[in-house]
Amino acid sequence: MVSALAPATRRRLSPEERQRRLLELGLELFGEAAYDQISTDEIAERGGVSRGLLFHYFGNKRGFYVAVIREAADRLLERSKAAGQADVGTAEDPERAQLDVFLRFVEDNAGLFTVLMQGGVGVDAEVKSLVDQTRQVLARRVAPRLDAESLTGSGPDLGERFALTAWIGAVEAAAVEWADHRRRGLPTLERRELAGLLLGMVPTSIRSPTKV
């Protein structure tokens, strides 16, 4: 009876392993609910750990949240990087390749992506800048031609910059709705259809010279 939920003698793991497991849990939790709907009590309990340990490793609740977001961003960038390299080889257009990787990532991490887009940014300035940075890295990989001139510093051509910002906004908005449809089992577009639609919206001012 009592032993059924006995504390199972606490395990002592290496700091790296413990942090890894807590981050994994964080990806799951923050994929289900928003920041202030999850208490540190709940995180600790579902992690089979005391609240004290959570604060020991991540400083405070926001520190944990930021670490989780950073983990997600790293995973996205990792995939994107691989796609970019593959494309340099095949010399395909970067918009299509990056968009494909991005939509696959959204497919696999629908919950986390949704939460991140709809609220994660507002939680604190560090998360905002983290998301902004990630977005910019992706933007550069999508439109390498604009990299040096328009995006670094205050390039003269604001038009191209806004065109890129707008297109990325279009991609993210469509991805959020798409992820939502998928999670709720509603009929929706195939990934290739959505990619085609979004590629059709790439402003001419940022489109890379079509090869082949």
Partner DNA sequence: CGCGGCTATTGACAGACTGTCAATAAGTGC
Partner DNA sequence: GCACTTATTGACAGTCTGTCAATAGCCGCG
Residues forming contacts to DNA in the complex (CB under 7 A) are: 9-15, 18, 39-41, 48-53, 55-56, 59-62
Is 36 among the residues that bind a copy of itself (CB under 8 A)? yes
CA distances from 99 to 27, 68, 92, 174, 199 (A): 23, 23, 12, 12, 8
Query: Closer to a copy of itself at the Cβ: 88 or 158?
Result: 158
Contact between 191 and 73 (Cβ < 8 Å): no
Is 203 among the residues that bind a copy of itself (CB under 8 A)? yes
Partner from a copy of itself, DNA, none binding residue 9, C-beta < 5-8 Å depending on class: DNA
- Closest residue by Cα to residue 131 from 178, 69, 76, 77: 69
Query: Closer to a copy of itself at the Cβ: 67 or 170?
Result: 170
CA distances from 86 to 67, 82, 89, 105, 161 (A): 29, 6, 5, 17, 26
Query: Closer to a copy of itself at the Cβ: 15 or 200?
Result: 200
Is 152 among the residues that bind a copy of itself (CB under 8 A)? no
Partner from DNA, a copy of itself, none binding residue 122, C-beta < 5-8 Å depending on class: a copy of itself
Helix, strand, coil percentages, rounded to 5, for the chain: 75, 0, 25
Contact between 84 and 208 (Cβ < 8 Å): no
Query: Closer to a copy of itself at the Cβ: 49 or 98?
Result: 98
Partner from a copy of itself, DNA, none binding residue 144, C-beta < 5-8 Å depending on class: none
* DSSP summary character for residue 12: -
The footprint of a copy of itself (CB under 8 A) covers: 34-36, 115, 118-124, 128, 154, 158-159, 162-163, 165-174, 176-178, 186-189, 193-194, 197-198, 200-201, 203
